[in-house]
Structure 1
Amino acid sequence: MTEKQGDPRHLETLDRDLARFSNLESATSLVARPTVGLGISFIFVVLAGLAAMLLFDQSNNLLIVVVAACLGAYMALNIGANDVANNMGPAVGANALSMGGAIAIAVVFESAGALIAGGDVVSTIAKGIIAPESMGTASVFIWAMMAALLSAALWVNLATWLGAPVSTTHSVVGGVMGAGIAAAGFAAVNWPTMGTIAASWVISPMLGGAIAALFLALIKSRIIYREDKIAAARVWVPILVGIMAGAFASYLALKGLKKIIKIDLPTALLIGAVIGGLIWVAMIPVIRKQSEGLENRNKSLKTLFSIPLVVSAALLSFAHGANDVANAVGPLAAIVHASQSGDFLEAASIPIWVMVIGAFGISFGLFLFGPKLIRMVGGQITKLNPMRAYCVALSAAITVIVASWLGLPVSSTHIAVGAVFGVGFFREWDAERRIKKARLAMPERASYAPEERRRRKLVRRSHFMTIIAAWIITVPAAAILSGTIFFLINSTMG
């Protein structure tokens, strides 16, 4: 070894050079990931088109169905990237699940929900937004559905890129409405239905937030603020898990199993009450055993909520796959049905190959692009722990049941994100209340300066405003985009 090579300064230089190579490798890996994701997505879209080419049993309109299948696959990818974050975000944010574990559970349960219980029958015009007879001809209807599908997918894609969780249901509604107006004028739109949907924009997130805040208040008052937290937890955690089991049993009976069996609301509530009671009784010895040896502090309580939270995330994913897969493949199924029979006035059942495109597309979209929105919902709006995340998951199930009772078409995105905001704003209010109480007990304590009070806010206002703005403009943005696309398609094909 030469003197220069043995010089410590030379070794330091070598270490720096190796570190640079290591950083370069990391940077290259980071740059490559989006490219890989886009490449896999493109391959999936092409395979969806090939599947349509092989499985569509007519030569007439084959090209149209192939293009529609590609658009349906693109929409499913975007639903996976944006919508599934609402189910998995709280569990990941609370550290009850790793990102990899969340994605694995969501892929399995979203696909199972879509294939087992998803898409029994899809109306030719989504949710009665426009009058079918106003379309005039099957070809006009097909172009309208194509425009609705593409516009909804583009809007959800943009929202995901901006980091805003939006409603894919409302994106499809906006797309169908815009294409309907472009094809047949404003009179074609069912405005009372649109009014009900608009009301749900306000009601569902506020209801979700209120229910989540109420359960967090219950947990704080009955467990966290008690002298003996573990003893309180032994009483209340089985009750809370029983309530969650009952709510999810009713939710799945009502919304997730429509294809297998039709269940009305009273029957679903009865099923939920029975299952909730059984789970409550079964959890009493389980929680007693889990809580043995735990220290009397808040950190110990988190372990008691982790498993229920993981189960709730899986059940939410199953129900989401069963219901929201229709957003991706509903217009596609309508196009396939109209292309086969020329009939666009009757309801269209979804072929199994169309369901597979939807199920796999949602899974691929989540796996490739979902982590961004999962982190947003799980940790960037407000800090979540297992107890707060439990309140969010439970609120999502209960709000859907209440909305079904009221007859409101709600968005799972609005409910879940509204519940996260509800938890965060309740924590702010509760912290402020406790500070005021402490000041009354100790008047000599100085109050916080305005800057310090703003810094202590527990909900990030920038995310709040971005998400609310995205929610407000989703339907009009998708409608304008869809109307424009319809005019372009119609003028080109006409």
Structure 2
Amino acid sequence: MDTVTLLALLAVAIVLLFDYTNGFHDAANIIATVIASRAMQPVTAVVIVGVFEFLGPLLGGTAVANTIGKFVDLSGLPGTLSLTVLVSGLVGAIVWNLFTWWRGIPSSSSHALIGGLIGAVVLAVGRDHVVWGVAELADGHVSGVVKVVLALILSPLVGFGVGYVVHTVALYALRAAHPRINRPLRLGQFLTAAGLAFSHGANDAQKSMGILTLILLLGGFIPSFEVPFWVMLACASALTLGIMSGGWRIVRTLGFAIYKVRPLHALDSQLTSAGVIFTASLIGAPVSTTHVVATSIMGIGASEHPRAVRWGKAREIVTTWLITIPAAALVGAIVYALVFAILHRGQP
């Protein structure tokens, strides 16, 4: 087996491992409000979410995969070098994901992936091999890192705003409702949680699909950047397995530490998050489910009782968001430096 094939197999395995860690890291984003509002038992929630999470990547298109697979330009480089760079960036993202999961911090797997790859690419072959998209933005086109970062920055703001509006309208519509309305609100979450799971799968699995397709292209296994069906299936499976493994530390943060979630809050949060994330998937914008879900809860809480929102926890989450890309970039660069040192050990 030649070196390129061996590196490609290793890279594919690491992509699927990242997809798995993404799943259990983001599981809480989907099931936290369902459990906090007592709409479902954890086992029921995980099964329903798992089914629709699996369907999302298969039926949600490839617009996000195209964005992620093209924000670094490693064409023209030797296959061994380009694949080593990708492997290093992915390992950096996984390390950061595991650290934040261990600490119970709802950080962004999307940010970690972007940061890890940028750090490895810049250290290995220079910043010119990252498609920053700044020049294109001056011409009125959004692409590359600019498109990714804009999506990751704007989506939480949209999540907050839409959550605020949706909950305000819902409160007005149900202003005279009897407390028995909580039962249909809990039942309604079977639909909204399924919709959130589908949209999450459609957006998050495509990030891994894009990187995996790039690996195949750089290794010479496919002639052009087109996502094969087996790649969709593999990424959908890895993400779903991760989701079904759970992420209970972050459930506590999203479900209880930001705002006291009741059935109406949970339904509105799921509806808001599903709509924002699926819309982003259709236009090829990679977003953070963690960001959108957390800020939708904040917007809902702010529309009802602003003082009841635990803004201290919100500030902690925002701080983590701000450091994720540079931190993951640093880890990705360190991983590449270690790999380079091991491969060139003993050479002058």
Q: Relative to 1, partners in 2 of residues 1:118 and 1:166: Cα closer, same or farther, differing over 3 Å?
A: farther
Per-residue CA deviation, residues 409-445 of structure 1 (Å, 9 max, x unaligned), is: 432321111101111222223xxxxxxxxxxxxxxxx
Give the 3-state SS of the residue equivalent to 1:83 in structure 2: helix
Cα deviations by residue, 1:215-262 (Å, 9 ceiling, x for unpaired): 2111222322x3xx2xxxxxxxxxxxxxxxxxxxxxxxxxxxxxxxxx
Quick check: 1:159–1:470 contact (8 Å CA) kept in 2? no
Give yes or no for contact 2:64–2:285 (8 Å, CA) kept in 1: no
1:184-206 deviations in Å (ceiling 9; x for gaps): 22233233243343333442112
> Are 1:477 and 2:295 counterparts?
no
Shift of 1:150: 1.0
- CA drift of 1:355 comes to 4.0
- Stretches of structure 2 lacking an aligned partner (at least 5 in a row): 135-143
Which residue of structure 2 lines up, in the alignment, with residue 413 of structure 1?
A: 290
Cα separation, 1, equivalents of 2:153 and 2:219:
38
Is the alpha carbon distance of 1:130 and 1:339 closer, same or farther for their aligned partners in structure 2, counting shifts above 3 Å? closer
Q: Check the 8 A contact 2:162/2:296 in 1, yes or no.
A: yes
> Separation in 1 of the partners of 2:130 and 2:218?
20
On the 8 A contact 1:65/1:335 being kept in 2, the answer is: yes
**Out of 96, 121, 127, which is 2:39 matched to?**
96
Distance 1:114 1:203, change over 3 A: closer
Superimposed CA distance per residue, residues 51-92 of structure 1 (whole angstroms, 9 cap, x where no aligned partner):
xxxxxxx76644323422332232122111122322222222
Work out whether residues 185 and 264 of structure 2, in 8 Å CA contact, stay in contact via their aligned partners in 1.
yes
Q: Structure 1 CA distance, aligned partners of 2:127 and 2:121?
A: 8
- For residues 153-187 of structure 1, the C-alpha deviation after alignment (integer angstroms, 9 at most, x for no partner) is 11111111121222222221112211221122223
Distance 1:415 1:301, change over 3 A: same
2:12 alignment counterpart? 69
How far apart in 2 are the matches of 1:398 and 1:219? 16
Measured after TM superposition, the shift of residue 340 of structure 1 is 4.3
Q: How does 1:99-118 map to 2 (within 5 A)?
A: 99-117=42-60
Distance 1:61 1:408, change over 3 A: closer
* Matched-pair contact (CA < 8 Å) for 2:12–2:212: yes
Is 1:218 matched with 2:96? no
Provide the aligned length of Structure 1 versus Structure 2: 334
Deviations 1:68-126 (Å, cap 9, x if unpaired)? Answer: 23322321221111223222222222111111111111222212323455658945x83
- Whole-Å separation in 2 of the counterparts to 1:122 and 1:222: 39
- Report the RMSD for the aligned CA atoms in angstroms: 2.8
CA-CA distance at 1:357 after TM superposition: 3.9
Q: Which runs of 5+ in 1 are unaligned?
A: 1-57, 230-296, 430-456
Cα distance in 2 for partners of 1:60, 1:189 equals: 25
Letter in 2 for 1:152: A
CA distance in 2, matches of 1:120, 1:206: 22
Partner of 1:267: none
Q: Which residue of 1 aligns with 2:186?
A: 306
Task: Find the counterpart in structure 2 of residue 40 from structure 1.
Answer: none
- The answer for the alignment partner of 2:261 in structure 1 is 384
1:129 aligns with 2:77: no
Deviations 1:295-330 (A, max 9, x none): xx3x21111222222111112212222331133343
Could you tell me the percent identity over the aligned residues?
Answer: 24
Q: Is the 8 A contact 1:205 1:414 kept in 2?
A: yes
- Equivalent residue for 1:243? none
Is 2:27–2:246's contact at 8 Å kept on the other side of the alignment? no
Mapped contact 2:89–2:113 kept (Cα < 8 A): yes
Question: Are residues 121 and 304 of structure 1, via their aligned partners in 2, closer, same or farther at CA, if it must alter by over 3 Å?
Answer: closer
Give, in whole Å, the separation in 1 of the partners of 2:64 and 2:302.
40
Query: Structure 2: how far apart are the matches of 1:62 and 1:351?
Result: 20
Deviations 1:247-298 (CA, angstroms, capped at 9, x unpaired): xxxxxxxxxxxxxxxxxxxxxxxxxxxxxxxxxxxxxxxxxxxxxxxxxx3x
| d(CA) in 2 for partners of 1:167, 1:61 | 31
Answer yes or no: is the 8 Å Cα contact 2:27–2:247 preserved in 1: yes
Answer 1 or 2: higher relative contact order, Cα 8 Å, separation at least 6: 2
Counterpart in the other structure of 1:269 = none
Query: Does residue 194 of structure 1 match 2:145?
Result: yes
Tell me how far apart the structure 1 counterparts of residues 284 and 208 of structure 2 sit (CA, whole Å): 23
Distance 1:66 1:405 in 2: 30
The answer for the alignment partner of 1:349 in structure 2 is 227
CA distance in 2, matches of 1:463, 1:113: 30
What residue identity is the alignment partner of 1:388? Answer: H
Corresponding position of 2:157: 206
- Residue identity in the other structure for 2:173: R
Q: Distance in 2 between matches of 1:389 and 1:138?
A: 48
* Structure whose CA Rg is larger: 1
Partner of 1:362: 239
Q: Which amino acid aligns with 1:132?
A: L
Give secondary structure in 2 for the equivalent of 1:410.
Answer: coil
**Aligned-residue offset at 1:360:** 3.0
Query: Per-residue deviation at 1:388?
Result: 1.0
Contact 1:121-1:350 at 8 Å conserved across structures: no
Task: Select which of 290, 311, 328 maps to 2:208.
Answer: 328
User: What is the CA-CA distance between 1:128 and the residue it aligns to?
Assistant: 3.1
CA contact (8 A) 2:27 2:242 kept: no
- In the alignment, the residues of structure 2 paired with residue 409 and residue 110 of structure 1 have an alpha-carbon distance, to the nearest angstrom, of 16
Quick one: distance in 2 between partners of 1:221 and 1:466?
32
Deviates more, 1:409-418 or 1:205-214: 409-418
Label 1:324 to 1:470 Cα distance change in 2 as closer, same or farther (>3 A): same
Q: Tell me which amino acid in the other structure corresponds to 2:267.
A: Y
Residue 122 of structure 1 contacts residue 334 of structure 1 at CA under 8 Å; is this kept in 2? no
